[in-house]
Amino acid sequence: MPSDSPNNGPDKVTVIAIDGPAAAGKTVVGRKLANRLGFKYLDTGLMYRAVGWLARHQNISLDHQSALGTLAENAQIRLGGEDGNQVMIGEQLLSWELHESDISRWASVVATIPAVRRAMVRQQQCIAAADSIVMVGRDIGTVVVPDANLKIFLTASSEVRARRRWRDLSDQGQEADYAQVFQETRERDHRDSTREDSPLVPAKDAITINTGDVSIDQAVDSILQHLKLKADK
């Protein structure tokens, strides 16, 4: 076990919950943190993307909420690959397919459906109970694992996050207009924070880190320090 890992004993499962809005740095911080600790890593957003991918490929309308709920209930989604950027549905491994812009739109819609969220939360809780893990998303510390050992809320201004998203799209060779990306970021923030089921809010005992003020490594080091302080208590 890497030296950064807390000494929790052989049977102890440690869960670190990282929440925050889109492009706050959850993925890169969470993955690097998991690597430092030797923990599993799961970006729960990929699970909603997987449901969106399934819905599109099965021609289920985004307006058909009951059918989408049934689809999510029956979809056995689990970790796949080694880098936390893949999930398995049955025996099918999904990776790059989940990051297509069209799938992002489908995922954003299905994630607002209560029945879909309930199905995904149950699966996420099973994953969290199995191994020490870093889980990132928008409701990990408030809904999925409210008793997580450590809860982190990453944030940054809308401008900073839109700029990150715009750069990512450009690096992927996709044409993107910054003004449109900024508008989409604001709309996603509003949708996530005002939905009735599992809105995006910091857990009361979450530690907030503004990633617009620190580097990725500084954010990871800060989380490790907070984890050590909790382990020492």
- Mean pLDDT taken over the chain: 90
10 pLDDT tier (thresholds 50, 70, 90): very low
* pLDDT score, position 105: 84
List every span in the chain annotated with CATH 3.40.50.300: 15-39+132-228, 44-131
Report the pLDDT value the prediction gives residue 65, as an integer from 0 to 100: 95
**Mean pLDDT value across residues 5-24:** 81
Q: Could you give the percent of the chain with pLDDT greater than 90?
A: 67
Q: Is the pLDDT of residue 52 over 60?
A: yes
pTM of the model: 0.90
Distance, CA of 191 to CA of 170 (rounded, Å)? 25
pLDDT reported for residue 84: 67
pLDDT band, residue 8 (cuts 50/70/90): low
Q: What one-character-per-residue DSSP string does the chain give?
A: --TTS----TT---EEEEE-STTSSHHHHHHHHHHHHT-EEEETHHHHHHHHHHHHHTT--TT-HHHHHHHHHH--EEEESSSSSEEEETTEEESGGGGSHHHHHHHHHHTT-HHHHHHHHHHHHHHHHHS-EEEEESSIIIII-TT-SEEEEEE--HHHHHHHHHHHHHHTT----HHHHHHHHHHHHHHHHH-SSS-----TTPEEEETTTS-HHHHHHHHHHHHHHHHH-
How far apart (Å, rounded) are the C-alpha atoms in residues 192 and 182?
15
Average confidence (pLDDT) over 53-75: 95
At residue 171, the pLDDT reads: 87
Mean pLDDT of 37-52: 94
- The Cα 108–Cα 125 span in angstroms is 21
Nearest to 33 by CA among 5, 13, 1, 55: 5
**Quick one: pLDDT at residue 173?**
81
Residue 1, pLDDT score: 43
Q: What is the pLDDT of residues 141-188, one digit of tens each?
A: 999 999 999 999 999 999 999 999 899 888 878 888 999 999 989 988
| Chain CA centroid to CA 130, Å | 18
Q: What average pLDDT score do residues 127-138 get?
A: 95
Confidence of residue 81 (pLDDT cuts 50, 70, 90): confident
Give the CA radius of gyration of the chain: 17
Whether the pLDDT of residue 9 is over 60: the answer is no
Q: Would you state the CATH architecture of domain 15-39+132-228? A: 3-Layer(aba) Sandwich (3.40)
For domain 44-131, give the fold. Rossmann fold (3.40.50)
Averaged pLDDT for residues 119-148: 96
Residues 146, 151: Cα–Cα separation, whole Å: 9
Q: Among residues 192, 193, 157, which one has the least CA distance to residue 24? A: 157
Tell me which amino acid residue 210 is: N
